Structure 1
Amino acid sequence: MRVIRGRASTPEDDREATRDLLDAVSESGEPAVRALTPHRQLAFGRRDANEPGYDAARAAASERGFPPVERSVGGRAVAYTGTTVAFAALEPTDDGRTGITDRYEDAVGTVIDALDSLGVDAERGEPPESFCPGDYSVQARCGGSDGEEFGKLAGIAQRVTADATLVSGVVIVADRGEIREVLAPVYDALDVPFDPESVGSVASAGGPADSEPVARALEDAIVGDRATTVESLAEATGREA
């Protein structure tokens, strides 16, 4: 399995790099994985772009120092602070239309296993009115006065082409306060229910506040027992950091 490390110079180049890798998996049949810390940004989904308050939501993100971008996969808006980790598992397939639910289920288990290796007792699910709500999310107890409050740590998305699948996700490592502060006005502008207290983080759930061990744990969990080759993003795609 190809392990691709690093990020491109801009959020758009980064998304293009993942598309390049998906094409490469389709052509070669060799799986690949990325786990990285994306540039600081507020990534909106396609549904967000169709909302009447979309322009106001973009302005709210920009005013708080989060450049707004649009992504082609996933659901509602997600904030990346610079410590947030994104992962992408790219696999060849003969028929991507089958096994969609199984891939989601496997991805949830993979994220839980990765977090467990970091000392986080995570489970499937999310609190009510979470950011980017979805059936395939991961949560953990994240403190509060009684230590019993659940917070959403991760969400998972999927994209399928004729010959390859892309299962991707985002894991909140730290900066939950900053994420709450930007997502509250963004979701309000989009008129989408959102509870700021639903935002969790690996750090607040007892894990590291450093993105590097989180990225490597996700990478290891996705790779499993497969042999790997490690490449920089520049080597793999020609896109410089």
Structure 2
Amino acid sequence: MNTFDQTRLLASGSTGDAVTELVVPALLLRAPSASWSQFVHVYVPQGPAVAFSGRDLRSPGIAAATEVAHAAGFATVVRSPGGRMVAYDSGAVVIDHLDRTTGIRHPGGATFAANAESHVRVLRALGDVDARVGEVDGEYCPGEYSINVGGVAKVVGSAQRVTATGSLFSTVVQVSVSDRVRAVIEDVSDALGYDLRRSSIAGLADYAPALTSQEVAAAFTADYRTRLGMVDGKVPAEVVAHASVANGPSPFHVDDWTRAHPLPAT
């Protein structure tokens, strides 16, 4: 176990609506100064969202994909990290890991592999979950370091953003995939022209029915606390307040807004 470090902070709980939740880590990533070296935020999202990436915006189907998501009642946001589209609601757990040190700042497979291995250990400890690292055929937001169950269905995906001030490694854990989330992943993927094997969409509760988002969030919170020697903290209230006024065209572009509305220097 690592020695607990007051500059490594761990926060839990949602900060607001879908836009606010995605703006908060982008603001923290670009903050000119911070009292922490690492900051991890684990939360259960408040509402349904389709989080697009910059890559998705290049698809000729992005306008149709946005309309499909809105018709299903999902907020549409272009997130800061890369990858491809992901949809989720309160049946998921999101983990945002911000780092201002040199250890995680460089993009590449090593960071993804280390996080995937740690996340697999947490999932296996939750019960009878045959969690494995690796892409499955026809998955949404495909990635070499996705986490699947039994080599059949994807349940966890991650993406990274690196800037001059640090890195953001963001992970979505699908715990209970509702019918509306499943349908919007299918329909938005179709609109964007992405191949998708529908049976590759799943949540942990499909294999361990007793699991809840709150239990999974608690398990990851405990893992980060002990594995990285973190102390409990809070998302700064001034950051939440700043993020909560974010608004703009849909899909809302997180990076564009945060560049135009940076946190004031302290």
Give the TM-score normalised by structure 1. Answer: 0.86
Q: Distance in 1 between matches of 2:104 and 2:165?
A: 7
Match of 2:122 in 1: 114
Q: Distance in 2 between matches of 1:95 and 1:31?
A: 10
Question: Which amino acid counterpart does residue 140 of structure 1 have in structure 2?
Answer: V
1:100 to 108, 114, 137: 108
Q: Distance in 2 between matches of 1:25 and 1:108?
A: 29
Question: Which amino acid counterpart does residue 237 of structure 1 have in structure 2?
Answer: V
Residue 21 (structure 2) pairs with residue 14 (structure 1): yes
CA RMSD between the two structures: 2.4
Residue 93 (structure 2) pairs with residue 85 (structure 1): yes
Where do residues 217-236 of structure 1 align in structure 2 (5 Å cutoff)?
217-235=219-237
Question: Which amino acid counterpart does residue 94 of structure 1 have in structure 2?
Answer: T
Identity, in percent, stands at: 30
Quickly say closer, same or farther: Cα 1:83–1:103, change in 2 above 3 A.
Answer: same
Structure 2 stretches lacking a partner, 5+ long: 1-7, 245-266
Q: CA deviation at 1:224?
A: 3.0
The question of whether the paired residues in 2 share the 8 Å contact of 1:118 and 1:208 is answered with: no
Q: CA deviation at 1:128?
A: 1.1
- Describe the superposition over 1:36-83 as per-residue Cα deviations: whole angstroms up to 9, x where unpaired: 122311111111112111111111111122122211213221111222
Q: CA deviation at 1:25?
A: 9.5
The question of whether the paired residues in 1 share the 8 Å contact of 2:91 and 2:178 is answered with: no
Give the TM-score normalised by structure 2. Answer: 0.79
* Matched residues, number: 234
- Describe the superposition over 1:78-129 as per-residue Cα deviations: whole angstroms up to 9, x where unpaired: 1112221110122222376647322111110111011012112200113211
Residue 171 (structure 2) pairs with residue 164 (structure 1): no
The question of whether the paired residues in 1 share the 8 Å contact of 2:40 and 2:96 is answered with: yes
Structure 1 stretches lacking a partner, 5+ long: 142-148
Match of 1:135 in 2: 144
Deviates more, 1:25-34 or 1:105-114: 25-34
Quickly say closer, same or farther: Cα 1:99–1:189, change in 2 above 3 A.
Answer: closer
Match of 1:201 in 2: 203
Q: CA deviation at 1:196?
A: 1.2
Q: Distance in 1 between matches of 2:211 and 2:194?
A: 29
The question of whether the paired residues in 2 share the 8 Å contact of 1:118 and 1:207 is answered with: no
